[in-house]
Structures are given as structure tokens and as C-alpha cells.
């Protein structure tokens, strides 16, 4: 078989030898100039007339929507450039790898990238204080602790980052109020999902209400409020029912799991029964108390506060592991934790 262009003998590609095939075909092309629209607030890119996406997806979309390929090309590999800086105009270099039959073809391309700036729709809403929902964090017959407030906010920010593709997943305003905190949220859908995750993480009850705040296309638009009232009991609390002392081992959506500090017997308590337990405010958990001596039935601990030797009867399930153990001090008594 002979090349129609130069007459060379060998493998042919569209009736051309490999050299002529590479020279004669324009496998890929891109306009000499492209313009990107970037939000001055968040840095997202606009694709099309109204759609905004994150920076990397925006650059990909800009390139892919302007690339044209020879019909013979299938499944090209595009080596995207490093994310370009924010200068108003710069040259961007691309390299595209194309496989046709048994040959690999590198196609270098470049274009001038212009940058224009605008404020996206979401940042405009944030500026204007827009919100669709409110997440209220309160305590059940108790205030929300600073540690819980920090934990809730950290979790919200983490979930917002994980849902970066949902551009309405944002906090417009955080307000500390008596007994807790209010978070004004951009998305009702996101708020409903994340408040249930908060419930599983911190325990408590959710109450949802809605009120009309406007109309769209002739239909009422509602603003939702999700009240998460954190459970009276918290993980790590020491509580009493008047007869026994318990350590709250963990807490879930509907239950608390308690460990009897004397017998180490474990019980599960429903949310509605939490009120029968009184939290021992003076209880302290000490993770590292020194073991002085132990027998099959008794262990002697150096009290972490008084530094006196205290003897404790061993629960059946206790297994000594090292020279230290966790203990709880309550009303001058010491319990193994």
C-alpha cells in the first residue's frame, strides 16, 4: 500500500503514511482568544449565561466547550494546564494526546485567556442577607455549652465544604441568642439534611416549622426553621437516678447508653426518660489515674485530686491494662470509668 501524498510504502492512515497523516490533518483546534467570567467574591466561573461552577470545573468547561476535533478523533486525553492566575490576559498552553489505530499523536495548542470580573448570583444573595432556612441550636432544659457551639459550627462548616457543588449551601448569618445559636442558611434542602446529621452526632429532638415569606411564579414560598434541642444528657456526663451513678457512654438520636459506675452494667435509656436522671455537675473524669496495687477483687488507686490511696471493688468486666486507668470522682467518691 502506498501513500497518496508522497508515495511511501507502509501502513496507511486515511490513505496517507504516518508522516503525511500527521502533517495534513488538523486533529484539534481552539480559538485564539477565550474569555472567562470570574466572581470577585468567591472566584467561581460563569459558564453559559447564568450558570456558575467552581474554578477547576469552570476552566475545564471553558476549554472543552471551545475545543473542536477532527471527526476521526475519539476519546482524546486533555492535559489541562495548572490553574491560571488572575491577570487580565495571559497565554494558556494545552497538550492533547490522541490515539488513532497504533499511533499516538501529541497536539500542542495555546490561546490567549482574557478575564472579566463580576459578582455571582450566590454572592449577591449573601451580601443581601438571603436565607431560606434557620437552624436553631438549643439545649433541653439547659444552656448549650461553648464546646457544643464550637462543635456544631465546625460540623456545619465541614458539611458545607463537602457539599461545595451545592452553591446554596452557605451560612448567611450566625447569631448567639439566649440559650443557644441561630444559623441563617442559604438552602432549605441542605439545612434539612445537615440538621438530621447534627441530631445523630449530638443527640436531641428536631422541630420543624415553616412560614410564608413571599411568592414565586404565583406560588407561596416558605422559609423553614429547624430547631434542634440538644439532649439533656451528653456523652461523658455522670448522672444519678437517686440509687445508682452512671457514666453516659454515648448518645444517639433516640437513646443514651449508660454504664453503672459500680457494677459496670450497661443500660439503654430512651430520650423521654432522660428527665429522671440528674447530672452530677461536680463529677470529673480523669483519664490517667495511677494504679498502686490490685488483686482479683479490689484495686487501689492514687486519687488524682487528694493524692490519697483509694480502694475500689473491681467490676466483673474490668481488665487491667498498664499502670494507669480512667476514673471518675463524684462527691469525694472514686469510680472506675
Between helix 188-202 and helix 146-162 the angle, nearest 10°, is: 130
pLDDT tens digits, one per residue of 39-53: 888 888 887 767 788
Model pLDDT, residue 215: 66
Q: Is the pLDDT of residue 158 over 90?
A: yes
Cell numbers found for residue 86: 488572575
pTM, full prediction? 0.66
Q: pLDDT per residue over 260-318, tens digit each?
A: 988 889 999 988 888 888 888 778 888 888 888 888 888 898 888 888 888 888 887 77
C-alpha grid cell, residue 54:
467552581
For residue 331, the model assigns a pLDDT of 79
**Is 35 within 8 Å of 114 (Cβ atoms)?**
yes
Q: What is the DSSP letter of 9?
A: B
Q: Average model confidence (pLDDT) for the chain? A: 87
Please compute the mean of the pLDDT values over residues 160-177 and round it to a whole number: 89
Over residues 195-251, the pLDDT tens digits come to 999 998 888 889 999 988 776 777 777 899 999 999 888 888 899 988 888 999 888
Higher pLDDT, 258 or 215: 258
Residue 83 confidence (pLDDT): 67
Torsion, Cα of 121, 122, 126, 129 (10° steps): 70
Rounded to the nearest 5 percent, the helix, strand and coil shares of the chain are 20, 45, 35
Check pLDDT > 70 for residue 159.
yes
For residue 229, what pLDDT is reported? 93
The CA distance from 288 to 300, in Å, is: 14
pLDDT class for 121, splitting at 50, 70, 90? confident
* Confidence check: pLDDT of 64 > 80: yes
Residues 79-96: tens digit of each pLDDT: 887 767 777 788 988 899
CA distances, 284 to each of 73, 129, 287, 319 (Å): 70, 43, 10, 22
* Domains of the chain by residue range: 18-121, 129-230, 233-281, 282-337
Best CA proximity match to 246, nearest among 230, 232, 254, 235: 235
143/141 Cα distance (integer angstroms): 7
Amino acid at each position: 500500500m502506498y501513500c497518496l501524498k508522497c508515495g511511501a510504502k507502509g501502513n496507511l492512515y486515511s490513505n496517507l503514511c504516518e508522516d503525511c497523516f500527521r502533517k495534513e490533518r488538523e486533529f484539534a483546534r481552539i480559538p485564539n482568544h477565550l474569555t472567562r467570567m470570574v466572581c470577585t467574591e468567591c472566584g467561581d466561573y460563569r459558564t453559559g449565561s447564568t450558570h456558575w461552577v467552581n474554578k477547576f470545573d469552570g476552566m475545564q468547561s471553558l476549554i472543552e466547550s471551545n475545543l473542536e476535533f477532527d471527526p476521526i478523533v475519539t476519546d482524546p486525553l486533555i492535559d489541562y494546564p495548572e490553574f491560571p492566575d488572575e491577570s487580565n490576559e495571559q497565554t494558556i498552553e494545552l497538550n492533547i494526546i490522541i490515539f488513532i489505530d497504533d499511533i499516538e499523536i501529541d497536539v500542542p495548542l495555546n490561546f490567549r485567556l482574557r478575564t472579566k470580573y463580576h459578582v455571582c448570583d450566590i454572592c449577591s444573595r449573601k451580601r443581601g442577607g438571603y436565607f431560606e432556612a434557620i437552624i436553631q441550636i438549643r439545649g433541653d432544659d439547659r444552656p448549650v455549652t461553648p464546646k457544643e457551639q464550637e462543635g456544631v459550627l465546625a460540623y456545619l462548616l465541614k458539611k458545607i465544604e463537602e457539599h461545595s457543588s451545592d452553591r446554596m449551601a452557605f451560612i448567611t448569618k450566625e447569631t448567639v441568642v439566649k440559650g443557644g445559636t441561630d444559623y441563617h442558611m442559604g438552602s432549605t434542602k441542605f439545612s434539612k439534611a445537615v440538621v438530621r446529621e447534627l441530631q445523630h452526632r449530638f443527640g436531641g429532638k428536631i422541630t420543624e416549622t415553616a412560614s410564608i415569606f413571599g411568592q414565586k411564579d404565583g406560588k407561596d414560598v416558605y422559609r423553614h426553621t429547624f430547631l434542634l434541642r440538644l439532649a439533656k444528657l451528653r456523652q461523658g456526663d455522670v448522672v444519678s437516678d437517686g440509687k445508682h451513678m452512671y457514666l453516659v457512654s454515648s448518645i444517639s438520636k433516640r437513646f443514651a447508653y449508660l454504664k453503672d459506675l459500680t457494677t459496670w452494667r450497661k443500660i439503654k435509656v430512651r430520650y423521654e426518660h432522660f428527665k429522671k436522671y440528674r447530672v452530677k455537675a461536680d463529677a470529673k473524669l480523669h483519664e490517667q489515674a495511677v494504679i498502686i496495687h490490685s488483686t482479683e477483687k479490689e484495686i487501689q488507686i492514687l486519687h488524682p485530686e487528694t493524692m490519697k490511696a483509694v480502694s475500689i471493688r473491681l467490676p466483673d468486666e474490668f481488665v487491667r491494662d498498664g499502670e494507669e486507668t480512667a476514673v471518675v470522682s463524684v462527691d469525694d467518691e472514686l469510680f472506675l470509668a
